[in-house]
Chains A and B, each alone.
Chain A
């Protein structure tokens, strides 16, 4: 099974900061990776798929990159509504595992 790790697990930032979250796969998954944002008490929402494709309606300050085993999610200028938990998910093969999550908190 493919395992995903994320780091950092906790990220402190101020509004306007540029932040990057990393997701690493235990084996190569090409670009079969998605990123989600989850706010407390809500269902997750997809931000990025195929490693770098922005989901329709998602602000352009979010971007994704990577191939193979290492992927990043970048927020170019953090906004107040971006403080949430972020998860990666691989779709290369079943089981389609999620990463453990990165919580973005206000500094």
Chain B
């Protein structure tokens, strides 16, 4: 079964840091573009960051550029999001997704991990 499982969410103070992980199974992770999408409580979906299969192409939303760093380890079938200088506006569920421009969709989503930033 193809699966994406996020971990690493939790409660953190403003200005703090957190590292999210996403572990893939059931498909050839190293060939896919993967992404992070977040959703604030009661709000819509917001694309956060994308990384190509070989880590050559990396993109960030303006709202996180300079504070968040996306990376991947294809040997470990894992995607990461290092989040620094967190603010209350970063609170939400963070989803790991698989797919990109060439696929024309995010065909697979993890269940999400909740990040709560409190002052």
Contacts and interface: CB of A to CB of B under 8 A. Distances in A.
Interface string A75-107: 000000000000101010011111111000000
A43 B107 contact: no
B111 interface: yes
B101 A46 contact: no
Contacts of A38: 45
Contacts, number: 59
A34 B104 CA distance: 7
Interface residues of B, number: 21
Interface string B95-119: 1000011011111011110000000
A32 B104 CA distance: 6
The size class of the interface chain A forms with chain B is: 20 to 34
A17 interface: no
Q: Is the interface of A mostly helix, strand, loop or mixed?
A: loop
Interface of A: 32, 34, 36, 38, 43-46, 49-50, 53, 55, 87, 89, 91, 94-101
